[in-house]
Amino acid sequence: MRSRVLLILTVFLMFACSKSEEDLSNLNSYLISKEQVKKEGVIACAASDRSDASISYIFYYPVPGSRNIQYFETNSISVDPNDFSQYESVSLEKEGVFNDYLGRFIRNGSNEVWSVVTHEVNNIVHVSNPIRLKNTSKPTEWNNSVVIDQGVELMPEFSWMDGVVRENVIYFQVITNQEGNLLSGTYTYEKMFQYYKLDNVVLNVTRETPPALQIGMNYGFTLMGVSEDNWVNLVIEKNFEAN
């Protein structure tokens, strides 16, 4: 009798643990299990690979102190993107971008879904806005079409045009040094940014005042044109020499 009771108890505990783990793989259940949640607390967007549209990169900004960075996605796009019960945790490879200033998940799959990135800071779970993957219907356009006006010494002005898909509502600009380290990361609504003027900057992820550029040194400019649903329609990459 005793062995039978122990067997039933063991099975019950195994089921309970399995059920708990299963629940926490669901975004809604995961958030309910936490004491504090901050929506729109993760800056994130997604783009398809330059040459293989079946590969998507889900970019995110890991604020200092963030941990337990997770990726969730829906089964399809035909769901309410704001219904977190539709999202399940998916284990994806991730890597650093701009020498780990940003990060990105690497997703291999042609199916389009909604996705969300979360991380924890000081026991508060931060959740990104839903990201609509469009890797098949509107693959990201990659080019180097940017005008760099260096009429003001060491304060180059960058201007660009939208690509084939003209659905961008915000633009993310990154200036890097020769080692690939991020010097400045800014968002504008306008198709123009001048280093380092913040007149038209609406969001700034630069942690410290960036250094002045040096004459004759090489730098990199990266631009992401992002739609309202956080899909990157356009990526521009261009190296330049400061003068």
Query: Which tens digit of pLDDT belongs to each residue from 91-115?
Result: 999 999 999 999 999 999 999 999 9
- Of 69, 170, 51, 194, the closest CA to residue 127 belongs to 69
| Euclidean distance between CA atoms 243 and 234, whole angstroms | 27
User: Is pLDDT above 60 for 17?
Assistant: no
- What is the residue-averaged pLDDT of the chain? 92
In the three-class reduction of DSSP (H, G, I as helix; E, B as strand; rest coil), residue 216 is classed as coil
pLDDT of residue 15: 42
109-154 pLDDT, tens per residue? 999 999 999 999 999 999 999 999 999 999 999 999 999 999 999 9
Mean pLDDT of 48-63: 97
pLDDT band for position 81 (50/70/90)?
very high
Phi-psi region for residue 179, left (φ > 0), alpha (ψ -120 to 50) or beta? alpha
Give the CA diameter of the chain. 89
Minimum mean pLDDT range among 5-9, 24-28, 186-190 = 5-9
For 182, half-sphere exposure in the C-beta direction (CA atoms, 13 angstrom radius) is 22
pLDDT of residue 24: 83
175-211 pLDDT, tens per residue? 999 999 999 999 999 999 999 999 999 999 999 999 9
Mean pLDDT of 212-221: 98
Exposure pattern of 31-68 as b/e (b: 16+ CB <10 Å)? beeeeeeeeebbbbbbbbbeeebebbbbbbbbeeebee
User: Is pLDDT above 50 for 12?
Assistant: no
Cβ burial, residue 87 (10 Å; 0-12/13-18/19+) = buried
Q: How many residues does the chain have?
A: 243
User: Is pLDDT above 80 for 66?
Assistant: yes
| Euclidean distance between CA atoms 65 and 158, whole angstroms | 32
pLDDT of residue 125: 97
